[in-house]
Amino acid sequence: MAFDHKKYRPYHPINKTDRRWPNATIEHSPKWCSVDLRDGNQALIDPMTVDQKDRLFSLLVEVGFKEIEVGFPAASQTDFDFVRSLIEQNKIPDDVTIQVLTQARHDLIERTYEALKGVKQAVVHLYNSTSPTQREKVFKLDKQGIVDIAVNGAKTVKALAAGYPETHWTFQYSPESFSATEPEFAVEICNAVLAVWQPTPEQPAIINLPSTVEMTTPNVFADQIEYMHENFAYRDSVILSVHTHNDRGCAVAAAELAILAGAQRVEGTLLGNGERTGNMDIVTMAMNLYSQGIDPTLDLSGVSKIVQTIQDCTQLPVHPRHPYVGELVYTAFSGSHQDAINKCLQVQHESDHWDVAYLPIDPTDVGRSYQEVVRINSQSGKGGVAFVLEQIYGFKLPRWMQIALSKVVQKRAEGVGKEISVDEIYRVFTETFIHSAGKILNYDIHQQHDKQRLDATIETPHGVTTIVGIGNGPLEAFLNALMAHDSTHYEISDYQEHAMGAGSKADAAAYIAIKCNDQNGYGVAIQQDSVLASLQACYNAVVQAKQVQDEEQLQAS
Ligand SMILES: [Zn+2]
């Protein structure tokens, strides 16, 4: 059998009984370090061009990153040249620190410092691999041999830094493959490096703990981080950083639990590009904080630009359901969701905390609009349709009008077999209920004894006619005039009107439901004059009822 789970063995959890992280909460944002230009870039089919790197670097600065890993200059001439161009062309703002990666080899560390010559401040990021698999199969060294690589690298990093006194240096060490390394050994090797660097609270070192490959549930990673947090020497002089990957789909969760467990800094990429399944997605984690009332210290209000730039630089599409930024994430398709959103939005005041069903954040915070909240397909209920017309066009449809419209919209959506756009809904609405075959040109009302007499002139495709009727009010008089004119029985079953917008010059919208024999008809009209609005809506309802009757007769024959 090819698909055989017995091929794999379970991960052994850490034997920890004094966990504190499950009771912790995240109260402020971690320090962020973007590794888009290094880890992200090295995972691309086509690595970024200099122009793309420049564009991405500017975006990272604009979003507010203060630490940006820009490459692996000792391993790649392109990276070397890019680092030089940033420094020589003065592209690094004073409050931004660039970071570069290097292996723990003397010649590579030397070349790394050459790349950084003249920079105001930088992080030199040293790594070597520490897991049993890497020790035994890749490097064929015992534990001491691996510690020696790290310690010698740390010594070289420290010694060569002294040759560049104009730069403020920070040293960072990563035990690569940390997540697969025995925790006791990870502590041993990190402490050996720290003993070389002798960090102080004023001059801290960064220890970065990667889940180079994500291998466990996030709680196990949190245990590993808490263990390190408790066992570092120089703990008050160490910035504990994590660098998670998404192999099991939990990179963000692992980083969040790591913060609970004592991590202070998080490395990741915007939208999660990176080796294999990608790096931790900083946009998602930062927006998770934001949605809990925590300042993420990054400005993600322009997600469209972020998405566009990342897509242009990585040539990778963003999934339409990507958290917070996907094309569909503020779109509700189901009628009950639309209805709930609609009801919540109506009572959501600017001064209150955001509390809208199905919308964890206000889409406008990230430059998205309410217009996207609702799309209509054949499953959408009347709530969605009514919501669209009210939010965008200002029509407050009475319930019976919502039902009538949603039937027509649903029919149209079924006809085309897909969702129909907001513009299409508006077109269906106006074509069916507003634009009728007749227009009331003018009307005249006279008091006749205790009744009112109405004369109305109507323009139809067949010509101009004047009809006359008497009733208790203009609408009843108009209906009587229509009945006298075409000898059909009409009866108004519902009527409603409201002002469109505010002010004395606001148009009036009138909605009328009539019964024409057994057939219901619905009409809507907007006019400056509210009496004319009601008469025209009534006429439109009569026309619509007749149209439906004609269609049904046509189908029957
Ligand atoms: Zn990585």
- Confidence band of 435 (pLDDT split at 50, 70, 90): confident
Judged against a pLDDT cut of 70, whether residue 382 lies above it is answered with no
* pLDDT at residue number 461: 87
- pLDDT tens track for 324-357: 999 889 888 777 788 888 889 989 998 899 999 9
Ligand 1 centroid – CA 556 distance (Å): 69
Residues with CB under 5 Å of ion ligand 1 are 39
Residues of the chain with pLDDT > 90: what percent? 77
Query: What is the DSSP track for 449-485?
Result: TTEEEEEEEEEETTEEEEEEEEESSHHHHHHHHHHHH
Ligand 1 centroid – CA 126 distance (Å): 13
The total number of residues written for the chain in this structure? 557
pLDDT-wise least confident of 116-120, 266-270, 301-305 = 301-305
Burial label for 164, CB within 10 Å (0-12, 13-18, 19+), is middle
Ligand 1 centroid – CA 210 distance (Å): 7
Ligand 1 centroid – CA 40 distance (Å): 8
- Shortest CA distance to 256 belongs to which of 537, 21, 544, 9? 21
Cα 458 to Cα 439: distance, rounded to the nearest angstrom:
6
- Confidence band of 376 (pLDDT split at 50, 70, 90): low
Cβ proximity of 224 and 183 under 8 Å: yes
- pLDDT tens track for 474-488: 999 999 999 988 888
Domains of the chain: 30-314 (3.20.20.70), 331-372 (1.10.287.1400), 382-434 (1.10.1220.20), 439-556 (3.30.160.270)
- Confidence band of 378 (pLDDT split at 50, 70, 90): low
Ligand 1 centroid – CA 512 distance (Å): 64
* pLDDT at residue number 379: 60
Cα 438 to Cα 463: distance, rounded to the nearest angstrom:
10
Name the DSSP letter for residue 12.
Answer: P
* pLDDT at residue number 386: 81
Average pLDDT over residues 494-507: 86
Q: Bridge partners of 442?
A: 457
Ligand 1 centroid – CA 135 distance (Å): 19
Average pLDDT over residues 391-398: 87
- Residue 75 DSSP SS3: coil
- pLDDT tens track for 47-72: 999 999 999 999 999 999 999 999 99
Judged against a pLDDT cut of 60, whether residue 500 lies above it is answered with yes
* pLDDT at residue number 369: 67
Ligand 1 centroid – CA 370 distance (Å): 37
Cα 246 to Cα 250: distance, rounded to the nearest angstrom:
6
Average pLDDT over residues 195-209: 98
Judged against a pLDDT cut of 60, whether residue 41 lies above it is answered with yes
Ligand 1 centroid – CA 180 distance (Å): 14
Average pLDDT over residues 155-162: 98
Judged against a pLDDT cut of 90, whether residue 5 lies above it is answered with yes
* pLDDT at residue number 370: 56
Cα 177 to Cα 151: distance, rounded to the nearest angstrom:
17
Name the DSSP letter for residue 420.
Answer: B
Ligand 1 centroid – CA 244 distance (Å): 7
Judged against a pLDDT cut of 80, whether residue 422 lies above it is answered with no
Q: Is 339 annotated as a binding residue?
A: no
* pLDDT at residue number 372: 47
Higher pLDDT: 412 or 177? It is: 177
Cα 68 to Cα 95: distance, rounded to the nearest angstrom:
11
Cα 188 to Cα 178: distance, rounded to the nearest angstrom:
12
Q: Average per-residue pLDDT in the chain?
A: 92
Ligand 1 centroid – CA 549 distance (Å): 68
Ligand 1 centroid – CA 177 distance (Å): 10
Higher pLDDT: 381 or 446? It is: 446
* pLDDT at residue number 348: 92
Average pLDDT over residues 309-320: 95
Ligand 1 centroid – CA 39 distance (Å): 5
* pLDDT at residue number 139: 92
Q: Is 245 annotated as a binding residue?
A: yes
Judged against a pLDDT cut of 60, whether residue 371 lies above it is answered with no
Ligand 1 centroid – CA 49 distance (Å): 21
Cβ proximity of 382 and 403 under 8 Å: yes
